[in-house]
Structure 1
Amino acid sequence: MNALNKHINPFETKSGSMRITNRNTIIAVISLLLISGLVIVKAQIIGLALCVGLLAIIGLVYVVFKTPKFGIYLLIILGFFVTGASRYVVAPWGLTIDAMLVLVYVALFFKGFAIQIPWYRAKSSLTVVVTLWMAYVFLQLGNPEVLSREAWFYAMRGVGLYQFLVIPLLFMLFNKQKDLNNFFIIWGVLSVIGTLKGLQQFYFGVDPFEQRWLDQGGAETHVLFGKLRVFSFYSDAGQYGASQGHAGVVFGILALFRKSSLKLRLFFITVALAGLLGMMISGTRGAISVPAIGGFMFLILRKNIKILILGAVLGIGVYVFFAHTTIGQGNAEIRRMRTAFDPNEASLQVRLANQRKLKGYLATRPFGGGLGATGNWGQRFTPQSFLANTATDSWYVMIWADTGVVGLVYYLFMLFFILITGARNVMFKIKDKNLKIQITAITCGMAGIMMASYGNGVFGQMPTGILMYVTMVFMFIAPQLDKKAITAIKK
């Protein structure tokens, strides 16, 4: 009898379109339409844009509250496009990353009233090391050398905050084999789009909005000897070249060694070739270190002496080609790449001279000059200071100048701890062959990006930043994924 009482007759309930017959719903819809129509009539195009934007935001909030994992996908997509968008519409686009992170956390908070949120999954040594780094970044507010707290706010987001906020979310929401597979698909598609945009700039030139960006100062570093350094929709050519080289390494390894369907393998090959092509047309010399170090790391992880020797011979051959021959000198991309192997190259000497100046300045400042003291933030908030007018030209040199030798030592420890953990899991823990190749690929990619960050401010910028955070988490949870895969095979 109780079962009969609990039974719901579907013919006696309202569902689907019948629900809008509710009087309150009809009133709300009509009111919304009237208000929207009034705004459009009064403000015309701007009003239409506001209404469409508001509807999009409402839809976005609804989707993220319903499926918080969708917010992670959006973070990855935003990482690729957020900087380039500022060339078309002047707005604080960078804050959309912050807004999305807050939205996902709020969605999880409210979802916690209905279901139990697995916060315990974020318990990891990775969470500990990034939290300690964020604590040091926060303590930089008390650095007596800090000249601008506002500069600290803007700088600390890419240096520590995003990493601190994203990694726990990834442990909770983005932690399955399917998530890793989807991540590669999204990354690959976005990288190919980046290459296509780069090819458009390379062959047909920039559009009017990009030209305006060049005219406002971008040309100083992106038009050399009348030749454009391609930047696609990324922040600059350095980020574009390194990011595309990153994709070339990761997807090249997947294409060559992961067992997959023909369709998926063709996708991996396409992304790898597109990535390497994008790296070449960027004109960024430092980007060549991504495939170079990534390839060397791959040889180590394979634990095969013959392959290691073969790779070493190939590496020596590449070095000899660039450093001791003039083959292909007529090609502007090869010619610029070749300068990376010249120890007497003018820009390298300038960098070394700047580092010598910084060494003297920081000798009595173990905690640095304060986060945000260098680079664009220094130029914006403290333009008369010594650090603002001394180019760092390197992610690590920037960390050193802003946070001192104490900050640099801990930051490098953190990165190598993460890299070594990923390498150890690949070499000694993961048994499933496909997962082993996937983690091998992202570990090699991280090694390449770490090296490239010495020549350019790559690591903390988007999209490399968000890609690194995702790969870090999968490098740490790989043993758990492996156990599930092995158990599934045995069943």
Structure 2
Amino acid sequence: MSTTSKHSLASKALMLLLPIITVIVTYFVIKSGQKGGVIFIVGSIGIALTVFGLLFPEFCFYYTIGVTYLLADISRMVETDLPIGVVIDGLIGVTFLSVLVKKFIKKESFWLHCNHPIVYAYLIYFLYATTEIFNPNASSIEFSIQVYRRYFTLQLFLYSAIQILANMEAISRFFKVFLSFALVAAAYGCYQEWVGYPKYELDYIYSNPLLVALFGLNNGNFRKFSLLSDPTAFGILMAVVSLICVVFLFYAKRKRMKVFLGITLLLSLLSMGYSGTRTAYGIFTGGLVVYIMMTLTNPKTLLFAAVSFLGFLVLMFGPIYGNNTINRIRTTFKFSEDASYQVRDINRHNIQPYIYSHPFGGGIGSTGVLNMRENAGHPLAGFPTDSGLLRGALELGWVGLLIQCIAYFVVLQQAVKAYYNTRSKAVRPVLLACVLGLFAYILAHYTQLAIGPVPGAFLFYSLIAIIIRQRQIDKETENLTFSF
């Protein structure tokens, strides 16, 4: 059969299938209503893209990241608790499988590019978390496995990122794609502040008194969460994106890229402020301090430091009193006026005896208001951990907390080492952005559960993957300059 005949046959088959598919979709929408129809259409598109992603690992990698920006808002729109965690874990699994298929075709070793201190540190932490499934203090093994699933899939994502971010071209593409997603989220966060929440988002907030309390501000308005699940995850993501944009703006050569980075930085900073997340304000400030310390020999840094310090003084002590966002930023650095910090500090102090007496913790998923039903009768049921480190200490014990802190130390130590050891002018700005991003996330994890919620977790583990690939990329770009 000729090629023309094959194309003609395919076209006829498609012409027959499309009306049938249209009838099926229409019938489903009529029978299930608007919400069911939206879920069916989105689900069908998602399945098709997932199958396509199985053939192309890098597409699946970015598709997974992009979907996590939308799922929470789709769930709010259709007023249904979608199985977001299951969808994300499934997409990560497809990405991992796609990477394995590609490696099998190329006949590459499974452990290729993974011989690195960070990988071994996380492997130890992962194995320890695996043993926690059988913690006798846990409510049930079944629920522990359910929560453990996210530990497992994030390690699969890290492995996939190590294999996909294989060269400078792939890394540059990653930052462009991720910052583009972040720009959309930042723009929508500003839209929520300037225009207001759409009705379905207000309905979502008012549907739960707990959300009204968590998202509420002193002026009767609400903190902004954009497309993400909550204001905290949104604010922390915007802070890290802002730090990355600051670094790249200093090194970018092309005017078009400078404009893109400048707009992304501006909207991200505004959205960070509108999120009302004090942790985000703190880690952005801390990240700038680290940036200044690591680039102090650069004359531009001295000017930047002076301008930043002056801006900080104006923000903190300027005659601006009616702006609720600025007032909230000011309380970040005045702990005596931060009521939420004082409550968290009291909670940490009161729960310390449990940590000392349970070296292996109360079991995975034993804390938190969302897990109260599954942990009925457990001493930690409903305890508001807030801090990622405190949650680690309670659920995994002080032994697990120690392993976790060692892993984070290794990450930062290797990141800083990679930055100072690199000889490539093309890689140095990227590594500096990685150092600031990783530092900000780990610092945020002290006061919030920062490392875990997506899409922020995808950024965190991708930055780690870039650090792991640094030695190889150095050799390929030694004589190149930064071309972002």
Q: How high is the TM-score relative to the length of structure 1?
A: 0.87
Deviation of 1:261 after TM superposition, in Å, equals 0.8
State how far apart, in whole Å, the 2-side matches of 1:439 and 1:415 are.
Answer: 17
Deviation of 1:372 after TM superposition, in Å, equals 0.6
State how far apart, in whole Å, the 2-side matches of 1:352 and 1:315 are.
Answer: 30
Cα RMSD (Å): 2.9
Q: How do residues 441-460 of structure 1 correspond to structure 2 at under 5 angstroms?
A: 441-460=433-452
* Corresponding residue for residue 233 of structure 2: 239
* 8 A Cα contact 1:370 1:402, kept in partner: yes
State how far apart, in whole Å, the 2-side matches of 1:264 and 1:105 are.
Answer: 31
Structure 2: 5+ residue stretches without partners: none
Task: Give the letter aligned to residue 73 of structure 2.
Answer: G
Query: 259-268 or 338-347, which moves further after superposition?
Result: 338-347
* Corresponding residue for residue 220 of structure 1: 213
* 8 A Cα contact 1:294 1:446, kept in partner: no
Q: 1:145 to 1:42 in 2, by over 3 A?
A: same
- Does residue 149 in structure 1 map to residue 141 in structure 2? yes
* Corresponding residue for residue 6 of structure 1: none
Percent identity between the aligned chains?
22
Query: 142-151 or 329-338, which moves further after superposition?
Result: 142-151
State how far apart, in whole Å, the 1-side matches of 2:170 and 2:407 are.
Answer: 25
Deviation of 1:473 after TM superposition, in Å, equals 0.7
Quick one: which of 407, 415, 428 aligns to 1:414? 407
Deviation of 1:152 after TM superposition, in Å, equals 2.4
State how far apart, in whole Å, the 2-side matches of 1:104 and 1:70 are.
Answer: 9
* Corresponding residue for residue 4 of structure 1: none
Q: 1:300 to 1:458 in 2, by over 3 A?
A: same
* Corresponding residue for residue 263 of structure 2: 270
Aligned length: 470
Q: How do residues 309-328 of structure 1 correspond to structure 2 at under 5 angstroms?
A: 325=317, 327-328=319-320
State how far apart, in whole Å, the 2-side matches of 1:41 and 1:191 are.
Answer: 34
Quick one: which of 428, 442, 454 aligns to 1:436? 428
Deviation of 1:127 after TM superposition, in Å, equals 2.4
Aligned-partner SS, 2:385: coil
Task: Give the letter aligned to residue 14 of structure 1.
Answer: S
Deviation of 1:130 after TM superposition, in Å, equals 1.8
Task: Give the letter aligned to residue 284 of structure 2.
Answer: P
State how far apart, in whole Å, the 2-side matches of 1:409 and 1:157 are.
Answer: 22
State how far apart, in whole Å, the 2-side matches of 1:61 and 1:78 are.
Answer: 11
* Corresponding residue for residue 18 of structure 1: 5
State how far apart, in whole Å, the 1-side matches of 2:298 and 2:101 are.
Answer: 54
State how far apart, in whole Å, the 2-side matches of 1:303 and 1:354 are.
Answer: 39
Q: How high is the TM-score relative to the length of structure 2?
A: 0.88
State how far apart, in whole Å, the 2-side matches of 1:355 and 1:368 are.
Answer: 15
Task: Give the letter aligned to residue 470 of structure 2.
Answer: A
State how far apart, in whole Å, the 1-side matches of 2:14 and 2:280 are.
Answer: 53
State how far apart, in whole Å, the 1-side matches of 2:479 and 2:329 are.
Answer: 47
Task: Give the letter aligned to residue 452 of structure 1.
Answer: A
- Does residue 116 in structure 1 map to residue 135 in structure 2? no
Quick one: which of 85, 90, 96 aligns to 2:87? 96
State how far apart, in whole Å, the 1-side matches of 2:40 and 2:386 are.
Answer: 43
Deviation of 1:358 after TM superposition, in Å, equals 1.2
Aligned-partner SS, 1:486: coil
State how far apart, in whole Å, the 2-side matches of 1:474 and 1:386 are.
Answer: 41
State how far apart, in whole Å, the 2-side matches of 1:463 and 1:41 are.
Answer: 33
Deviation of 1:483 after TM superposition, in Å, equals 1.1
Q: Could you say which structure has the larger radius of gyration?
A: 1
State how far apart, in whole Å, the 2-side matches of 1:318 and 1:288 are.
Answer: 14
Q: 1:44 to 1:78 in 2, by over 3 A?
A: closer
Task: Give the letter aligned to residue 207 of structure 1.
Answer: P
Deviation of 1:444 after TM superposition, in Å, equals 0.9
* Corresponding residue for residue 10 of structure 1: none
- Does residue 36 in structure 1 map to residue 21 in structure 2? yes
Quick one: which of 326, 331, 335 aligns to 1:343? 335
